[in-house]
Every structure is written in structure tokens, then in C-alpha cells.
């Protein structure tokens, strides 16, 4: 097999004083943090679409990236080269997982049958590379948004033929995810949303989406796929209104349609901020509802209103992400998938290495800070004390369901003085900064 990233060896941990841009400063895979290694905590994953398929194209110009496989013109030769390059890249980067859409890894043919045949050839190659390297598939998914047939959506399309096509596509994607040992399967809404209610039957579209997901659950059972199903919320882009807009709306949907036991969420940082939430908020809400499944690790730009999918570098954000993940008892089957792309101007192959190094180091550092914050209990203790009124007296009675409005009125009438205590936000923020700078 030819080498694609010539002149770049394996990226290793050299510690925080290293000046080598091709070394990890904080990501030290075998370092133990509590009872797990960093590698086990973080479960880093590469997104095939950005790293291998992405071209750097934007609305104003064609692709800019220069890749070792760029000169190949036969679509199947290109697909094979990309798959081989993916494994070389992950080995060199010490990345243990990857994720893909069906259409990232193999080209579409003239017919669905031909497309499936193309997939089978590439899946055979991926299967061999997985066996040779020990790198695993974190999740697979189906691209139900790029082809023009999905112009009105897939499971929520007004056209039943499109619903059927999407079902066939997900059926195949589930089969290949199972074959490759995928630990999860993701549904991101793609074009499942609407542009205008003037032409939309929202009730039918949502019912159909639920029908589609029930069919997926049934089929997974039938073929013995034991991976975790994940829904990835996003509020807008490509449609003006996406149905799975945030964790709260996904939870309501899953509960309404009896799907809560079969799905968790895959939370993407940039999708959280597009929804007007922090990444921390979305992870927290998912965790306390038992649905925190996996993470698409990236970051947006506060000045831009779209999904910029940048590599995560903000330590404050990675710290609180890891804080929630540690409180969740880890990511379990999930992982940290870098759904992130290099900027259009970073077009050289080596930029793929620099970008993943920056993201892996940012999460490694966040993990350490979060672990220390939790170990010392500074925030937890403060919060516990803040709610202490619910552990005794009238508060305990409220929590235990022993009182109603009448008893509470009697209590309030007798309670001469209500005393509140400061929330101490600035003091807490300063403590967090101290940990970030010193942990
Ligand atoms: C789109 C997005 C997708 C999903 C997988 O914004 O995040 O790449 O992660 O379909
Ligand atoms: Co994503």
C-alpha cells in the first residue's frame, strides 16, 4: 500500500514544553486520569467527510485543498485511496475511531443496486484495514441530504417514493455499520425540516419521521445490530427549521413517539450554539435525562451565524464538556468525533495533522481540568450547599411530596423573613479560571 502522507511520522506526546508543532503537548493516550487512560476517556474519532472527502469548496469558490489522492479521476480508485489514506492518517495521529456517511466512502452509481455494490467493495477494504490496525468504527450514518431526490427531505418528504428510497438507504447503512463493528448509528436530520408552513403538513411529517425511526429500530433488532442509536440535534441549516432542533425538542419527540428507550443524542458543539444554547447546557440536559450518547466535537464562531465546524480549541468549553462527560460516567459507547474541518486557507495535507492535534490537545487539557474540579468538588460542593434548603424542614417535605399549596400557604404565613444568599457567580468563574490555568 502506498504512503499518502509522506514525510510525516507518527505524532507523539512530547509534553507542554515541546516546540514541535507535530507533537501532542497534552494528549498523552496512556496517561491515567483516575481509573481510565486518556485514550479511554476521550475516545477520539475522525470524521471521514471533512478529513478525506472535504474539498474546501464554499459558496463563493471551488475547492482549494491539495491532497495526495487529488489526481485520481476514477471514482472507485479515489474511494479506495481515501480509505487507505484515512487509516494511515489515523494511525499516524493515534486516533482510535472514525465515523462516516455511506456516500463519503463510496460513489453513487446509476442505480441503487449499483451504489450498494460500490459500497460493498469499499466496505470490504475498510473491514480489512480495521482488522489490520485495530482502529474501530464509532458510528456510521446515511447521507439523506446531498442528492437532489432529498430536496423536500427524506423521512419527512412529501413524496412517499423518497421515504422508501431513504429507508432502503438506511437499511444498507445499518448493514454495513454492523459489518464493520460500528458501536453507534447516527441520524442527523439533514433536510428533515421545512422552509415554509404554506406547503407543509407538519403533523404528518413528524409522524412519518417517527415511523421511519421505529422501522430502523425493528430492522436493527432483526439483523442483530447492537450499536446505540443516536439523534444529532441541529436547529437550522440546511432547512430554515429543522425538526430535531435541540436536545429538549428531541426528548419531547422521543417521548411522544415511544422511542426514548432506543435512542440517545449525539451533541455537536456548533449545533448547540446555533440553537442559542451553550454546548455545556445541551450536554447537561442530555445527561440528566439519561440520553447523553456521543459528541461531535467542534466549535463555531461567535461572529458567524452558521455551522463553521471549526476544530475545538477553547479550553473553557472543552473543560465543561468533559465535566459533563465525567459526570455521565464517561461516553460509554460514544466518543468525541471531530466533526470539524480545516479552514479553506489551510489547504495543505499537513494542516489535517495540525488541526487534529489542536483538538486532541484541547480536549486532553479539558479532561484534566474537569477531573481536578470534580475531584476537589469545588463546584459540586457549592451547588449542594446552595440547595440545602431542600434537604431539611419544609424543603424536604416539598421534595418528598408531603405538602401541597394549603400546607405551604400555612408555612408562608408563619414565615416572618425570607433570607436569600448570593449566587457568587464571579467568585465561581474566578475559581474555574484558576483551575484552567493551573490544573
Ligand atoms: C451536519 C452534521 C453532520 C452529522 C452527520 O451539520 O453535523 O455531519 O454529524 O450526518
Ligand atoms: Co455533526
The mean pLDDT values, 10 residues at a time, for the chain of 439 residues are 94 98 98 98 99 96 96 97 98 99 98 98 98 98 98 98 98 99 98 98 98 99 98 97 98 98 98 98 98 98 95 98 98 98 98 98 98 98 98 98 98 96 98 93
| Start-to-end CA span in the chain (Å) | 43
| Grid coordinates given for 272 | 448547540
Distance CA 141, CA 304 (A): 27
What is the Å distance from ligand 2's center to 219 Cα? 24
Known active-site residue 218: no
Angular region, 94: left φ>0, alpha ψ -120 to 50, beta rest: left
The CB of 268 under 6 Å from ligand 1? The reply is yes
Q: What is the best residue among 141, 169, 184, 187 to mutate for testing ligand 1's pocket, by most ligand atoms within 8 Å of CB?
A: 141
Catalytic annotation, pick one of 41, 101, 281, 356: 101
The CB of 339 under 6 Å from ligand 1? The reply is yes
Decide: residue 355, CB within 10 A, 0-12 exposed, 13-18 middle, 19+ buried.
buried
The CB of 324 under 6 Å from ligand 1? The reply is no
The CB of 371 under 6 Å from ligand 1? The reply is no
What is the Å distance from ligand 2's center to 126 Cα? 22
Known active-site residue 104: yes
Q: Is the pTM of this model over 0.95?
A: yes
Alpha-helix residue ranges (DSSP H) falling in 257-309: 269-274, 279-288
List the residue whose alpha carbon is closest to atom 2 of ligand 1: 188
What does the DSSP assignment read for 103-168? HHHS---SSHHHHHHHHHHHHHHHHHHHHHH--EEEEEE---SSSGGGTT-STT-S-HHHHHHHHH
The CB of 232 under 6 Å from ligand 1? The reply is yes
Stretch (H or E) spanning 293 = strand 292-296
CA-to-CA separations, 111 to 117, 118, 156, 171, in angstroms, rounded: 10, 11, 22, 16
Catalytic annotation, pick one of 41, 50, 102, 104: 104
The CB of 188 under 6 Å from ligand 1? The reply is yes
Determine what percent of the chain falls in helix, strand and coil, rounding each to the nearest 5. 50, 15, 40
- Are the CB atoms for 99 and 45 separated by under 8 Å? yes
Q: What are phi and psi of 41, to 5 degrees?
A: -65, -45
Count of H-run helices and E-run strands, the chain: 16, 14
For residue 1, the model assigns a pLDDT of 75
List the residue whose alpha carbon is closest to atom 8 of ligand 1: 339
Q: What would the pLDDT profile of 10-62 be if each residue is shown by its tens digit?
A: 999 999 999 999 999 999 999 999 999 999 999 999 999 999 999 999 999 99
Q: What is the best residue among 296, 299, 338 to mutate for testing ligand 1's pocket, by most ligand atoms within 8 Å of CB?
A: 296
For residue 439, the model assigns a pLDDT of 66
| Grid coordinates given for 121 | 467493495
Stretch (H or E) spanning 231 = strand 228-232
| Grid coordinates given for 123 | 466496505
Amino acid at each position: 500500500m502506498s504512503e499518502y502522507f509522506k514525510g510525516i511520522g507518527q505524532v507523539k506526546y512530547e509534553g507542554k514544553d515541546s516546540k514541535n508543532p507535530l507533537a501532542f503537548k497534552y494528549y498523552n493516550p496512556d496517561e491515567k486520569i483516575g481509573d481510565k487512560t486518556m485514550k479511554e476517556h476521550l475516545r477520539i474519532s475522525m470524521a471521514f467527510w471533512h478529513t478525506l472527502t472535504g474539498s474546501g469548496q464554499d459558496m463563493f469558490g471551488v475547492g482549494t485543498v491539495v491532497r495526495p489522492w487529488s489526481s485520481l479521476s476514477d471514482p472507485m480508485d479515489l474511494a479506495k485511496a481515501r480509505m487507505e489514506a484515512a487509516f494511515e492518517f489515523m494511525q499516524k495521529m493515534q486516533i482510535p475511531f472514525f465515523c462516516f456517511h455511506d456516500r463519503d466512502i463510496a460513489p453513487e452509481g446509476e442505480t441503487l443496486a449499483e451504489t450498494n455494490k460500490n459500497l460493498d467493495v469499499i466496505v470490504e477494504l475498510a473491514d480489512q484495514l480495521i482488522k489490520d490496525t485495530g482502529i474501530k468504527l464509532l458510528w456510521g450514518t446515511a447521507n439523506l441530504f446531498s442528492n437532489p431526490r432529498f430536496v423536500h427531505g427524506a423521512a419527512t418528504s412529501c413524496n412517499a417514493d423518497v421515504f422508501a428510497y431513504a429507508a432502503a438507504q438506511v437499511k444498507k447503512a445499518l448493514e454495513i455499520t454492523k459489518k464493520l463493528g460500528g458501536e453507534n448509528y447516527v441520524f442527523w436530520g439533514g433536510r428533515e425540516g421545512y422552509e415554509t408552513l404554506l406547503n407543509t403538513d407538519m403533523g404528518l411529517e413528524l409522524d412519518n419521521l417517527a415511523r421511519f425511526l421505529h422501522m430502523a429500530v425493528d430492522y436493527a433488532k432483526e439483523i442483530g445490530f447492537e450499536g446505540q442509536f443516536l439523534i444529532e440535534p441541529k436547529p437550522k441549516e440546511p432547512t430554515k427549521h429543522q425538526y430535531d432542533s435541540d436536545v429538549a425538542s428531541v426528548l419531547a419527540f422521543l417521548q411522544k413517539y415511544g422511542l426514548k428507550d432506543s435512542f440517545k443524542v449525539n451533541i455537536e458543539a456548533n449545533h448547540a450554539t446555533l440553537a442559542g444554547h451553550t454546548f455545556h447546557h445541551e450536554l447537561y440536559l442530555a445527561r440528566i435525562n439519561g440520553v447523553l450518547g456521543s459528541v461531535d466535537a467542534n466549535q463555531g464562531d461567535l461572529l458567524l451565524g452558521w455551522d463553521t465546524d471549526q476544530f475545538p480549541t477553547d479550553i473553557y468549553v472543552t473543560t465543561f464538556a468533559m465535566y459533563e462527560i465525567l459526570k455521565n460516567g464517561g461516553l460509554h459507547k460514544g466518543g468525541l468525533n471531530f466533526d470539524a474541518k480545516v479552514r479553506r486557507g489551510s489547504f495543505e495535507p499537513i494542516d489535517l495533522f495540525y488541526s487534529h492535534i489542536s483538538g486532541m490537545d484541547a480536549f486532553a487539557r479539558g479532561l484534566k481540568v474537569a477531573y481536578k474540579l470534580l475531584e476537589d468538588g469545588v463546584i459540586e460542593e457549592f451547588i449542594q450547599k446552595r440547595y440545602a434548603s431542600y434537604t431539611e424542614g419544609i424543603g424536604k417535605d416539598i421534595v418528598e411530596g408531603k405538602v401541597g399549596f394549603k400546607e405551604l400557604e400555612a408555612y408562608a404565613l408563619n414565615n416572618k423573613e425570607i433570607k436569600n444568599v448570593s449566587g457568587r457567580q464571579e467568585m465561581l468563574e474566578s475559581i474555574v479560571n484558576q483551575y484552567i490555568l493551573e490544573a
